[in-house]
Amino acid sequence: MHSTIKVEYLGTVRLLIKKKFDIYTFTVNPTLGLLVQEIGGRYGKIIGQECKKQVFIICEPKSDRGIFYKLPKDANILLKQGSVVKILNNITGG
Amino acid sequence: MSLGYCRKALRVDLTNQKIMTEDLSPEFLNGYLGGRGLNMKRLYDEVPPGVDPLGPDNKLFIGVGPLTGTLFPGSARVNFSAKSPQTGILGDSNAGGFFGPELKFAGFDQVIIEGASPRPVYLYIKNGKAELRSAEHLLGRDVFATQEGIIEELGDTRVQVACIGPAAENGVRYAGVFCNLVRAAARTGMGTVMASKNLKAIAVRGTMDLKAADPIKFMQIINKVDKDIASHVEYQTRLLLGTTKLVHALNEAGCLATRHFQTGRFEDAELVSGELLAESYKKKSKGCFACTIPCSRFFEITDGKYKGLKSEGPEFEGLAGFSSRVGVSDLGAALKGVDLCNRYGMDVISTSECISFAMELFERGIIATSDTDGLELKWGNSEAVLELIEKIAYRKGFGDVLADGVVKAATHIGKDSEKYAMHVKGLELFQADPRGLKGYALGVAVATRGGDHLRSEPSFEFYEDPEEGIRRFGVPEAAFRLEYKGKGKVVKFYEERAALADCLNVCKNTLVNMEILSFKEAAEILNAVTGMEFNEEMLQKSCERILNLERAYIIREGIRRKDDNLPERFLKEPLPKECGPSQGSIVELESMLDEYYLEHNWDKETGIPLRAKLIDLGLHEVVKDLEERGILSERFTL
Ligand code: SF4
């Protein structure tokens, strides 16, 4: 069984890789940490590092409520098949 | 030229057309540091209660700080302060760009404008000297044309201009002072004060040296600060997106001001996002004087109805103000809205509140086309929004009703519309929904210039790290935006940092939001520049002194705890379901207020600073003044 995760890029990462989304496929349900590793593998170390500074909003299938996560503390969160992960810059003042 | 400071102020008596130079004492500079602090001290001492904000007895203070014009990143800010014609209390606003440093190079830390000129003039300051020149020919010109006209007239492209546009001339109460075309000291109507004095602009040119007391130490600290900025977790984001990063970020958190705060989620956020702006229209980055994070941008619209529009900016507040707040999904229209405000010289926050307020009233049937000169003020009607901006600037028809700010507009309209006016103490609120940001909610409720987020910016509440919450503020909740505990402490901390930034006249993006430069480092750099002997505690206390002085000023004007409040919607109407992580949130303000007053050592019932606190901060004259006015009674002896 494969696990498919849609990653939507917002903020800094989107502007750096010039892409709005990707689909990632795993053989098992991945952790958030593994997903970010995959992104780094696909786009290079600098992007991987930039991802680690961002916020992750995980929307599980059928849920209307995305939950915010951060690395490294949430690296072991398991991503369910069909989840959407948004990568977004931190909210800070402006 | 002495070190760090010029130690000179320019006093301009417009009524008698006299210009004098005054020396600034070391005590004054030591106690109030720079820009905002110097201006606040003058405001308290020279503008007593009862002064008409638009009369000749009000004064306009323009101040820069000890780091202004140095290599310190973003040391570009300049403060404009006066009694506000918009709120009737403390007016203060600052702008970036290049005007502040130029004023310093011209030899002044502060300019005091008093009286009112019998004819329109502009002030020209050059290398320690100043003169008043006729501005008859500039009247009615917009900000861009005014700057162009002055530069042409003076024949020097390096002249920096701070000016007002037609909105100020027409008495719009939230008109700002604009530097470098779009760098706006927009809040609290400082442009309106300038117009009331018949002063169209201030042009500055300076070539005088700035010297540091200890240049080697100074450069060592600058090098460290440069490294801290470049390695900061937010560096790339600020560089690529500036504050426009907040459209998606706040929307995802469910607290982006949408359709006048009826919800915190805008379904078309992507269409008006900073990301789309960067991908579609950005030409290049643009920064202020000495900044290493050029967070702004030049853009040009290359398609659609607004094709050909070129400008600099916008900041998040303008972008969201003319998109999500009014339900507009057209990026071009939002950029046009910001551009119009810049040209007419109006505050984007207040303008967008007044318009979105009117839209909500229209949608609810409280007002109709018969009130709005035929304008269909439906959500998303961008043409009506743009037309209304012009009507406000020229006080035409329904625009005249909105030109005095949302409080007066609500009074004029009646029909219980006050409850839809999104302001605190008469100052319109920003583009984030306070229900989803409890620390910000407290910050805007207590801000000394009215409903304003920049007086504190307590962004620690986004950390979401309970251990950091405990380490820095004693409770884990402090690090979470939807929690209440610890927010009094957090807001006070950020108020002090914001005061530090405004007194050193350094950008808040770095000093407050990125928390570059600790108080200890700030004291070190201040000493390296000025040769003074500050330490961490002294500097922190100076910031506290300025905050307490401001509080005393607004207390003297009649402000009390009951005024440290929020619009009813935020206290009673939960954020709707689509707001995801923020759904169901309201603001429970009272417990946060209790904690906040306690932190400040202010009376919990009234919000008046305690005598002991004021004395501890060296504000003896304030104590005497408040006592003589019967404001500080025996009850406040503790
Ligand atoms: S960060 Fe932006 S606003 Fe601040 S000084 Fe730099 S360019 Fe100006």
Per-residue model confidence as pLDDT tens digits over A8-31: 999 999 999 999 999 999 999 999
Query: Cβ–Cβ of B245/A89 closer than 8 Å?
Result: yes
What residue numbers bound the domain in which A56 lies?
A: 3-88
- B241 has a chain A CB within 8 A of its CB: yes
Task: Report yes or no on A94 lying in a domain.
Answer: no
- Which ligand 1 atom is the nearest neighbour of the CA of B289? 5
Instruction: Give the pLDDT confidence score for residue B1 in this predicted structure.
Output: 43
- Work out the pLDDT band at B480, boundaries 50, 70, 90: very high
DSSP H or E segment with residue B275: helix B274-280
Asked if A10 lies within 8 A of B275 by C-beta distance, the reply is yes
* Domains in chain B: ranges and CATH: 8-205 (3.60.9.10), 235-428 (1.10.569.10), 437-628 (1.10.599.10)
B634 pLDDT band, cuts 50/70/90, is low
At B410, list the tokens.
Answer: 């609500």
Q: Residue A18 falls within a domain, yes or no?
A: yes
Q: Is the peptide bond between A72 and the residue preceding it cis, with omega within 30 degrees of 0?
A: yes
Residue B239 parent element (H or E): helix B235-241
Under the banding of pLDDT at 50, 70 and 90, the label for residue A64 is confident
Residue A61, domain member (yes or no): yes
Helix (H) / strand (E) element for B81: namely strand B78-83
Residue A58 within a domain: yes
Model confidence at B492: pLDDT above 50: yes
Considering only residues B570 and B4, tell me which one the structure prediction assigns the higher pLDDT: B570
Q: What is the CATH number of the domain that holds A31?
A: 3.10.20.30
Give contacts of B245 with chain A, Cβ < 8 Å. 11-12, 89, 94
Does residue A83 lie within any of the structural domains?
yes
Ligand 1: residues within 6 Å at CB?
A: B 74, 76, 96, 287-288, 291, 293-296, 507, 509
Instruction: State ipTM.
Output: 0.96
Ligand 1 centre to CA of B601 (Å) is 34
Ligand 1 atom closest to the Cα of residue B506 is 5
Question: Is A94 close to B246, i.e. CB distance below 8 A?
Answer: yes
For B157-197, write each residue's pLDDT tens digit: 999 999 999 999 999 999 999 999 999 999 999 999 999 99
Give, in order, the Cα–Cα distances in Å from B213 to each of B31, B66, B216, B387: 19, 12, 9, 54
d(CA B594, CA B494): 17
Nearest one of B487, B411, B474, B473 to B445, comparing CA atoms:
B487
Structure confidence at residue A66 as a pLDDT band (50, 70, 90): confident
Tell me which residue of B391, B248, B375 sits closest to B324, measured CA to CA: B248
Domain annotation covers residue A93: no
- Residue B551, pLDDT > 80, answer yes
* Contacts with B578 from chain A: Cβ below 8 Å: 64
Given a cut of 90, whether residue A93 has pLDDT beyond it is no
Task: Using most ligand atoms within 8 A of CB, pick from B94, B228, B288 the residue to mutate for ligand 1.
Answer: B288
pLDDT at B300 over 50: yes
Name the average pLDDT for chain B: 97
Its pTM stands at: 0.97
Cα-Cα-Cα-Cα dihedral sign, residues B41, B110, B177, B272: negative
The domain tally of chain A equals 1
Distance B455 CA to ligand 1 centre (A): 17
B221-228 contacts, C-beta under 8 A, 24 or more apart: B221/B521, B221/B524, B221/B525, B221/B528, B222/B71, B222/B72, B222/B73, B222/B525, B224/B521, B225/B72, B225/B73, B225/B516, B225/B517, B225/B521, B226/B73, B226/B292, B228/B516, B228/B517
**For residues B281-303, average pLDDT:** 96
Q: Is A65 in contact with B316 (Cβ distance < 8 A)?
A: no
Of A14, A55, A90, which is closest to B275 when you measure between CB atoms?
A14
How long, in residues, is chain A? 94
